[in-house]
Amino acid sequence: MLHIQTAFAQIPEALPQPAPTLDDVVVQLIETPLGTLLAGAGNAGVCLLEYVDRDDLAQWTTNLSQRLGRAVVSGSHCHLDRLQTELADYFAGTLTQFTVPLWLHGTPFQKRVWAMLQQIPYGQTIAYEELACRIDQPTAVRAVARANGANRIYLLVPCHRVIGKNGKLTGYAGGLWRKQRLLELEKQANSPCSQMQLMLEG
């Protein structure tokens, strides 16, 4: 993980540096094999996990503060500590289900879509049409796609597991190349050979 104070020191207008209060959202930068993630959490759980360009940190944190109506500060948080551990295990191919609590912010419809996303099994994909059917809104495919795109908690709310009806990769704000890599990671880790290797190592 990058040293968050060093990273944000270059944009002093973006974040205050006092100790977080109970109402604050705490953010950290987390390095992964696919790039830098900006993670945020409050006492209720993780509320942000997105790939971010370090040059845009000021704008990202400003948007987060406005969206949640809370101050955003850098620092440590128990949910972020747990998240960092789980992310390391996920990218190592040894974790298939995140357990860190989530703090979702969205409309009731968006939350229904996000809840269904969390039920897509690791290593599997579904089409937007199927996702719409699963929430009993078969004619709301476009609305479902917009809700999928509005997800701000990557990986934990696995919007990368939704693909086009023809199997084509579509619509991933983190970049289609990352979506491809994530699906390949899960497919490989979910293969019988990988499962047998994990059993032998255990």
- Summarised one tens digit per residue, pLDDT across range 13-48 is 445 555 556 678 999 999 999 999 999 999 999 999
Q: Assign 104 to helix, strand or coil.
A: coil
Quickly count: other Cβ atoms within 10 Å of residue 142's Cβ: 10
Cα dihedral 139→140→145→146 (10° resolution): 160
Strand partners, 153: 49
Confidence of residue 132 (pLDDT cuts 50, 70, 90): very high
| In contact, 55 and 14? CB cutoff 8 Å | no
Pick from 73, 91, 70: nearest CA to 28: 73
CATH number of the 4-91 domain: 3.30.160
Find how far residue 155's CA is from the centre of its chain. 4
In the prediction, which pLDDT does 146 show?
Answer: 95
Mean pLDDT of the chain: 85
In the prediction, which pLDDT does 9 show?
Answer: 56
In the prediction, which pLDDT does 59 show?
Answer: 77
In the prediction, which pLDDT does 33 show?
Answer: 96
Confidence of residue 196 (pLDDT cuts 50, 70, 90): very low
Domains 4-91 and 108-191 share a fold: no
Q: Assign 12 to helix, strand or coil.
A: coil
What whole-number percentage of the chain has pLDDT above 70? 82
Pick from 117, 99, 101, 97: nearest CA to 109: 117
In the chain, domain spans: 4-91, 108-191
* DSSP per-residue codes, 153-183: BTTTS-GGGEE-TTS-----TT-HHHHHHHH
Give the integer Cα–Cα distance in Å for 81 and 182: 22
In the prediction, which pLDDT does 47 show?
Answer: 95
Confidence of residue 72 (pLDDT cuts 50, 70, 90): confident
What whole-number percentage of the chain has pLDDT above 90? 63
Pick from 111, 144, 139: nearest CA to 126: 144
In the prediction, which pLDDT does 4 show?
Answer: 45
Catalytic residue set: 159
pLDDT of 127 higher than 60:
yes
Give the integer Cα–Cα distance in Å for 116 and 128: 12
- Summarised one tens digit per residue, pLDDT across range 85-122 is 999 999 999 999 999 999 999 999 999 999 999 999 99
Average pLDDT of the residues in 44-69: 83
Tokens for 188?
Answer: 């490989």
pLDDT-wise least confident of 30-39, 118-127, 164-173, 186-195: 186-195
Q: Assign 97 to helix, strand or coil.
A: coil
| In contact, 182 and 173? CB cutoff 8 Å | no
Q: Which architecture, in CATH terms, is 108-191?
A: Orthogonal Bundle (1.10)
